[in-house]
Structure 1
Amino acid sequence: MLPFMLPLLAGLTIPVAATAAGPAACTKIATELGSAKVNANQLSTNYTNSLEYWNTIQDEYKPSCIVFPSSAQDVSVSLKAIRAAGSRFAIKAGGHNPNTFFSSVQAGVLLDLSSMTAKSYDPETTLATYEPGGIFGDVYEYFAQWNRTVVGARLAGVGTGLALGGGMSYLSPQYGLACDSFRELEIVLPDGQIVTASDKENPDLFFASRGGGGNAYGVVTKYTVQSRPIGEFWAGNLIYVADQRDSVIEAIGNFIQYNTDPKAAIIGTYEKLPLPDLNLNLDEAILMFLVYDGPNPGDAFKNFTDIKALIDTTGIKSYNEVVNMPVPMSTEISRGANMFRVGVHRPQNNSYEKALDKWRTWAEDNKGSYELLSIDFQPIPKSLTDASKAQGGNAMQMPDGPYFWLNYLITTPPGMTEAKYNAAQASYRDMIKETGNDEGLPLFINDANKDQNPLQTFSTFKKLQAIKKKYDPDNFFADYTGGWSFA
């Protein structure tokens, strides 16, 4: 635990009524669902295990109780009780979103969906279903028995809630974002109603739920999605020494602008460690993820493979091996005081180089303020935006590619004071803001910080505001749980 978190928690202003509301809601839920599904014992293993987040700062918030629903009906009963008591609450699936109170709560009810992991496959329609409590690695393994998969996270350990924020996959250049493959959603509305959202039923709710704010409109309790064929991949990591940083960023820029093979996908990651540079470039590493849907990538990655790599793990892999690169349990291993921010750019005028230079300068000037920094280049090719449009589009109504999203990660070190932590986060925020974003492009919700207000960058923002008002008319979800701003 960061040492400043205890005073932060002690100073957290929680109205007396809200403090009483949490236990009242917990008692009501336990009466209706049974005590086995409700845990208020903060010393129990079941309770403490539930409070494990990818951003470990969120671990410190203590709900009045944790509810483990096993069905949409359980979620409905819980929301009605929470609403009647006026309690704060949070919905937790994988717990990967680092923003405070997006899936954590202090002195309220935490709905932990980890018991909801049912999956099914229909060979005739090739439609797949999964519930929200699992991680994508388990989902992929289940559907692999039919040589099928679903579009989801690029790391096995990420929860399925990622799809509600869009969801980037190595398969996205072929099939669009994860949310583009949605065909039907089961959703528990803020008033407890259980409804279906699809092109035919509640189509406005279905539209908004495809990347338009996560659980802002209700709790998704079942996904029906179009599955995709899966076979062998040519994939792996190339790790370069820092001296090759300019050659690699040029290769990334060329890939963003000129690659037209939808089976080829990359992530380009530059990482900084808090080591002194000493003019030896010991503090920087470059990690490329290269993934080709098929055994032979041809020349798709030639710009990268022509650069001599320190480590090369490329070769034939199963999809399970692909989503466990660079090592298994990458998500779990990388738990820490993590925070994301996002940028978006078109590749003209070498914007990828300019963003990298600003990030690198900040890293050199702020040694000691971070345990790890990374900047990820995530291409959005035209094939991806075409695939999205062919399936009706998502809540972003994505402009034509190519462009790229930047994921900025900062992991702060243990032992920081509150003042130093806040200063580091503010300085990092300002550097990214100064880097700017290209107009007319949406910020990626999955990688956004709360203060970036990503929904406001969508061309559909006013439409989403109206849908939010329709399904949450008295602002129950807006006022009693965390989430993206519709203001």
Structure 2
Amino acid sequence: MSTDSVATESAAAASNLLRAAFPGRDLTHHDDMGFEAEVRKPWSQTCWIPSTAYVSLATSQEVADALAIIQKTGSKFAIRGGGHNPNAGFNSIENGVVLDLSRLKSKTLEEDGVAHIGAGNTWGEVVLADGSQVSANAETNSDLFWALKGGGTNFGVVTRFDIATYPLIKTQYTISLYDGSDMSPIINTSTEVHKAMEADSNIGFFVNFRSGIVVVGLLYADTPAEPPNVFDAFSKLPSLQANVVPTTNGTILSLAKAMARPEDTLRRAISTVTTEPSKELYEGINKIFQEVTRGLPDAVQIHYTAQPVGPSCVEAGIGQGGNPLGLKKVMQDWWVFTAEWAGEDNDAVASKALSELSKGTRRLARELGLLLEYVSSTFAGAPDDVLGSYGAENVKGLRTVAAKYDPDGVFQSLQNGGFLLRNLVV
């Protein structure tokens, strides 16, 4: 029997058992109602892959029961939370079952200020492959807690996050639109603001580069009477076209709402590179961008974002559970490259352009001595070496944790896709 036939039979067997275990919630290709809606839930059309079955799970116990069925039948599976990852096969699967966590939406706040947030909320408690439910934090199962900070779905399914709360951070922000034909002053100003972050950790910003347009977000973790002086240079640039969001004294929550926008139904792909900052690198990436996007069909849009990260941010993360990501305490940019396009006939040209931009950036950064090996899983494309970028010792630690909490290798052998330990060559 072929591999595809075995997968089809296993998925069908799992589907039948899931239908019995979760009546009314297991949707297969035989259903007329609801199936297409499940297929089209992911953010990117590249993930609109009809699966054998979708099961919507509402509790940790239901996740455990579903995993027991997966293991019993040997069916391939994919885990879907918010469905925002655009990598095909990560939250979708053809001959297999999608475990949909979107109904895990519980939200409670304890008197001690700890919020318990279900994994299905879009904005821990972990179920292992053997169906057991465990907590992972700095005191309990601390090795698992460490590994989950970037280790992805190699160990279990996180069904709840326990989060220490704090009063909403006051935030002053401005989001502005610039004419992209005058890049040099924008780049100069961006690098100056980045330098200023070393002296003032309250400063934050992002720059999004598109064909003919640059979007700049200036952020400050307070509400001063006057914005920081370093922001003045942006407001004085002659290429400024409009303040899309005028200077506002708000909070992180109001900023998130201000940045929210309706998403078009498109096919998408992403990639990422981490570097130390420099004017020369900014200019070089823009040159690569211009070359890559020249002559692209109108239906294909490529854009990229510089997301500066300071040493204080890295130190804060390390202080909350260690450093499995292998992050260095230096000023850095997390570059995010995005392709958005309509129609499967543009898949090849869009993927090629995105790859050339990402690889060109990595190559240039290495030549300039600015490349940092870390690859953020949040922004990475399927070909990006996320786990390998954490360093040999961290990979060894992740493998040790996986062997302890998933000794049968269920998440390695049956999970359809993701940044998985099985894909590492060393």
Q: TM-score, normalised by structure 2?
A: 0.89
Q: After the TM superposition, which residues 135-284 of structure 1 pair with which residues of structure 2 at under 5 Å, given as runs?
A: 135-136=122-123, 185-212=124-151, 214-230=152-168, 232-259=170-197, 260-272=199-211, 284=212
Distance 1:378 1:231 in 2: 20
Distance 2:345 2:357 in 1: 16
Paired positions, count = 408
Distance 1:186 1:266 in 2: 33
User: 1:413/1:436 Cα in 2 relative to 1: closer, same or farther (>3 Å)?
Assistant: farther
User: 1:189/1:466 Cα in 2 relative to 1: closer, same or farther (>3 Å)?
Assistant: same
Indicate which of 43, 50, 58 corresponds to 2:47: 58
The one-letter code of the counterpart of 1:442 is Y
Look up the match of 1:311. 242
Look up the match of 1:153. none
- Unaligned residue ranges in structure 2 (runs of 5+): none
- Counterpart check, 1:127 vs 2:62: no
Structure 1 residue 396 displacement after superposition: 1.0
The answer as to whether partners of 1:204 and 1:467 remain within 8 angstroms in 2 is yes
The one-letter code of the counterpart of 2:289 is W
Residues 284-337 of structure 1: per-residue CA shift (max 9 Å, x gap): 1000122223322332522322224211122224544311334x4x2x514421
Look up the match of 1:413. 342
Indicate which of 234, 258, 280 corresponds to 1:325: 258
Residues 28-84 of structure 1: per-residue CA shift (max 9 Å, x gap): 12223x31232225654533223221111111x111111111111000000110111
Q: TM-score, normalised by structure 1?
A: 0.78
Distance 1:72 1:462 in 2: 29
The one-letter code of the counterpart of 1:339 is A
Look up the match of 1:7. none
Structure 1 residue 433 displacement after superposition: 4.4
User: 1:225/1:357 Cα in 2 relative to 1: closer, same or farther (>3 Å)?
Assistant: same
Identity %, equivalent residues: 21
Distance 1:315 1:419 in 2: 41
Structure 1 residue 203 displacement after superposition: 1.1
Structure 1 residue 416 displacement after superposition: 1.7
User: 1:263/1:428 Cα in 2 relative to 1: closer, same or farther (>3 Å)?
Assistant: closer
Distance 1:420 1:305 in 2: 37
Look up the match of 2:222. 294
Distance 1:325 1:441 in 2: 33
User: 1:435/1:264 Cα in 2 relative to 1: closer, same or farther (>3 Å)?
Assistant: same
Distance 1:303 1:121 in 2: 43
Distance 1:97 1:407 in 2: 13
User: 1:323/1:335 Cα in 2 relative to 1: closer, same or farther (>3 Å)?
Assistant: farther
User: 1:434/1:205 Cα in 2 relative to 1: closer, same or farther (>3 Å)?
Assistant: same
Look up the match of 1:280. none
Question: Please, which moves more after superposition, 251-260 or 187-196?
Answer: 251-260
Q: What is the DSSP-based 3-state SS (H/G/I as helix, E as strand, rest coil) of the residue aligned with 1:101?
A: coil
Look up the match of 1:173. none
User: 1:196/1:353 Cα in 2 relative to 1: closer, same or farther (>3 Å)?
Assistant: same
The one-letter code of the counterpart of 1:258 is A
Question: Please, which moves more after superposition, 335-344 or 74-83?
Answer: 335-344
Look up the match of 1:401. 330
User: 1:373/1:112 Cα in 2 relative to 1: closer, same or farther (>3 Å)?
Assistant: same
Question: Please, which moves more after superposition, 91-100 or 250-259?
Answer: 250-259
Q: After the TM superposition, which residues 327-476 of structure 1 pair with which residues of structure 2 at under 5 Å, given as runs?
A: 328=260, 330=261, 332-348=262-278, 350-364=280-294, 366-368=295-297, 371-414=300-343, 416=345, 420=349, 423-424=352-353, 426-428=355-357, 430-437=359-366, 438-459=370-391, 460-476=394-410
Structure 1 residue 382 displacement after superposition: 1.4
The answer as to whether partners of 1:30 and 1:37 remain within 8 angstroms in 2 is yes
- Unaligned residue ranges in structure 1 (runs of 5+): 1-12, 137-184, 273-283
Look up the match of 2:36. 48
Look up the match of 1:179. none
The one-letter code of the counterpart of 1:200 is E
User: 1:14/1:402 Cα in 2 relative to 1: closer, same or farther (>3 Å)?
Assistant: same
Supply the RMSD in Å over aligned alpha carbons.
2.3
